[in-house]
Structure 1
Amino acid sequence: MVLAGCTQQSATSAPPGGAPARPQVGVVTVHPQSVAITAELPGRTVASLVAEVRPQVDGIIQSRLFKEGSEVAKGDALYQIGPASYQASYDSAIATEQKAEAAVPSAQAKFDRYAGLISQNAVSKQDYDDAAASLAQAKAEVASAKASVETARINLAYTKIIAPIGGRVDKSSLTPGALVTANQTDALTTIRTLDPINIDVTESSTNLLDLRQAIAEGRLKFNGEGVSVKLKLENGTIYSQTGKMEFAEANVSETTGTFALRAQFPNPDRLLLPGMYVRAIVEAAVAPNSYLVPQRGVSRNTKGEPTAMVVNADGKVEQRILSVRNSVGNDWLVDSGINDGERIIVEGTQLVKAGADATPVEVTIDPTTGEIKDREQSSASATATGGNAAGAAKQPASGATGN
């Protein structure tokens, strides 16, 4: 009787017909959204302003007035060239000007006197013309003397070499006591403006044509002027400041098929230095009503088409062919093939096939790694249809052993 009762209990507890439990799969529910289309382009940092400092007069460098590697402002004194000879030339020009100015009153008085007498025929016309010429010559000598004074003053001022721009100054190529010449080939030092700093990047003309065609067809919306740019540094970190796209060249290189773009970034901490290799992340456009599907949930069929497995409202698995545009981080940007609110299988695809039953469990994807970082807390209740039936089939055997 005991054995008969245990057998009867086991028969009533087992799932009808021995139906297998539904496999449990991890899913992500997708919704349409506006996705920023970005392009990661290689580039180099370039100082926004560069000035090579050279002397404009000859002489001996008396002193260097800046600290190498420091920040200097526009107009700061950098070098002092011996000014003695230029000071003497300036003083001589001042004296020559004063001498020329002293001759003007006498010539003016003589001209005025002759002008009054010429009407009375008291002086000859020749004498009157000579007086007028002497006055004009005296005034011309004054003007020439003034120009010589200005030239001497400029040369004297050039003995103090000042910074033409503000920025960080390099090391000095010469030391005090060195002889320099006007407009020499070798620069004394170089000044670079590091805040803001420019980023020169290159882009292929093919990508540009694809982008403009997509915008023209309405598949993308252009962000407008002042496109935002982020920066990935050599060590993989993202630069804290956001830059703006300044311009794009109007010609394409015949050898490489690329064109140059320039972005500008704030650099208050001087973290970026000229010549660094970086990658600019350009937000060029926005794709409206698009889906982001995790890459781990997309595979390819025998025809090479991108596909995804979907759990429909009835718990059935369907295979969808996707229209994939490009990658966005660890996701694929999909235009069509899925609908709002559908559940994409991202874990356990090897356990199911199209047309099979499956129990979906919501999971969360880490956007930085693309790996699953969290699962639905109520997975036990979500699997009651399949998981609990399997458990019930095991309970009678345990009871039979006890009995």
Structure 2
Amino acid sequence: MPNRPVPTLPRLLAVLCFAFAAPAFAQQGGEAPPPAVTVVTLEASDVTLTSTLPGRVAASAVAEVRPQVNGIVVERLFEEGKPVQQGDPLYRIDPATYEAAKAAADAALAQAQAQLASAEREATRQEELRQRSVTSQQTLDDALATRDVAAAAVKVAEANVLAAEIDLDRTTIRAPLSGVAGLSQATQGALVTSGQATPLTTIRAIETVNVDVTQSAAELLRWRRSGQAVAAEEGSIVTLRLADGVAYEHTGRLAAAEPHVNEQTGVVVLRLEFPNPDEFLLPGMYVQVELPQGTVQDAVLVPQEGVMRDRRGRPLSMVVTAENTVESRELTVQRDQGSDWVVTEGLAAGDRVIVAGFQKVSAGMTVTPEERAAEAETATAATE
């Protein structure tokens, strides 16, 4: 074996000094500083909860135009997709048959009136003869009866004339309400019949539109029993979001609620009314309604990133106390509101909730809190 060099005394002293000095150097560095966490200071306020409910736009009034007489369409008098006013002519049916019926009814009326005049003269003559005892009472009674029958025949003839006039007038089909006319389902020369299944066109009033949504009856009862103010009452202001995610510029109101719960679905139908002056909303359009459900008194809005759940699924938040120590709080969460949770118990105004950095802390630790708003301002200043 080769001989190993024996350490000299100065080298041995240097090694021992280094070994004893290492712990001293570690102690001079001190303990690690408290970890930094990002917090949000909470504020209490009255929070109005809203629900986003799907629905479809419906016209405030709809009229399916159908003929009330039979005949051939000889003319269409409106432009498809254009507004029409109540009473405007839409179609004209060949009136020849109904003009003839009207003429026949007029002739029957004239004949009945002539018979009535003759019967009245005969009755008057028989009354005079009876006063002079020239004729019998039976003859007078027969003359009076004939006069009354003739008078009734005149009324029947007048009714026939009125019916003929109505049918003749119905050969011009008019708009039953003001609105926008749809596409025509009948062309010139088409044979139409009274009360047919297929409408000639459909008129929709869309200056004001309705949106029907469904509200859970169980949720409505829960709010009423909790003593909270229910916002979903008649006249409540509601907002609308279109299918592309853009909010509608006009607000609406809750017009009515169906006083009936659907047995199969357990929901109540709510009818919302929205102005539509520019006719931007069209019937059948899919929309989402943000409907106010109720008001929570003295609630706090906690950012969702500041709420976690334990193994049992209970919501928790890590709060920084006045002494900058971490404290765990169990929460009572009402529901979500946008990017926040509505908390009614467990937190109060002024509490500082950790929203970032809680992975490296635990209850009882001392931390260095930094407000999230201050961080945002610092980042903005750095970018500028």
TM over 0.5: yes
Q: Residues 2-401 of structure 1 correspond to what in structure 2 (within 5 A)?
A: 18-204=30-216, 208-218=217-227, 220-223=228-231, 224-245=233-254, 246-248=256-258, 250-254=260-264, 256-364=265-373, 374=377
Does the CA-based 8 Å contact 1:168-1:192 persist in structure 2? yes
Residues 373/159 of structure 1: CA separation in 2 closer, same or farther (3 Å cut): farther
Q: For residues 277 and 89 of structure 1, what CA distance do their matches in structure 2 show?
A: 50
Q: For residues 4-43 of structure 1, what are the alpha-carbon distances to aligned partners after superposition, in whole Å with 9 as ceiling and x for unaligned?
A: xxxxxxxxxxx99724334333222212211112122222
The Cα of 1:241 is off from its aligned counterpart by 2.0
The Cα of 1:376 is off from its aligned counterpart by 9.7
Residues 82/272 of structure 1: CA separation in 2 closer, same or farther (3 Å cut): same
Does the residue aligned with 1:202 lie in a helix, a strand or coil? strand
* AA in 2 matched with 1:341: G
Q: For residues 80 and 120 of structure 1, what CA distance do their matches in structure 2 show?
A: 62
Q: CA RMSD in A?
A: 2.7
Q: For residues 61-90 of structure 1, what are the alpha-carbon distances to aligned partners after superposition, in whole Å with 9 as ceiling and x for unaligned?
A: 111011111122221111011112212222
The Cα of 1:304 is off from its aligned counterpart by 2.1
Q: For residues 151-175 of structure 1, what are the alpha-carbon distances to aligned partners after superposition, in whole Å with 9 as ceiling and x for unaligned?
A: 0100011000011122222211121
How many residue pairs are counted as aligned between the two chains?
355
Q: Which residue of 2 aligns with 1:6?
A: none
Indicate the larger mover: 348-357 or 72-81: 348-357
The Cα of 1:332 is off from its aligned counterpart by 0.4
Q: For residues 222-275 of structure 1, what are the alpha-carbon distances to aligned partners after superposition, in whole Å with 9 as ceiling and x for unaligned?
A: 124223322222111122222223223513242x44443332222222222222
Does the residue aligned with 1:141 lie in a helix, a strand or coil? helix
Q: For residues 380 and 163 of structure 2, what CA distance do their matches in structure 1 show?
A: 86
Unaligned runs of 5+ in 2: 1-26
Does the residue aligned with 1:152 lie in a helix, a strand or coil? helix
Residues 373/93 of structure 1: CA separation in 2 closer, same or farther (3 Å cut): farther
Q: For residues 174 and 202 of structure 1, what CA distance do their matches in structure 2 show?
A: 37
Instruction: With the length of structure 1 as denominator, give the TM-score of the two structures.
Output: 0.81
Residues 295/189 of structure 1: CA separation in 2 closer, same or farther (3 Å cut): same
Does the CA-based 8 Å contact 2:209-2:274 persist in structure 1? yes
* AA in 2 matched with 1:44: R
Q: For residues 110 and 199 of structure 2, what CA distance do their matches in structure 1 show?
A: 39
Instruction: With the length of structure 2 as denominator, give the TM-score of the two structures.
Output: 0.84
Q: For residues 107 and 272 of structure 2, what CA distance do their matches in structure 1 show?
A: 55
Does the CA-based 8 Å contact 2:64-2:200 persist in structure 1? yes
* AA in 1 matched with 2:235: G
Unaligned runs of 5+ in 1: 1-14, 366-371, 379-403
Q: For residues 182 and 304 of structure 1, what CA distance do their matches in structure 2 show?
A: 66
The Cα of 1:128 is off from its aligned counterpart by 0.5
Q: For residues 248 and 94 of structure 1, what CA distance do their matches in structure 2 show?
A: 52
**Percent identity, aligned pairs only?**
42
* AA in 2 matched with 1:248: E
* AA in 1 matched with 2:171: T
The Cα of 1:216 is off from its aligned counterpart by 1.9
Does the CA-based 8 Å contact 1:33-1:290 persist in structure 2? yes
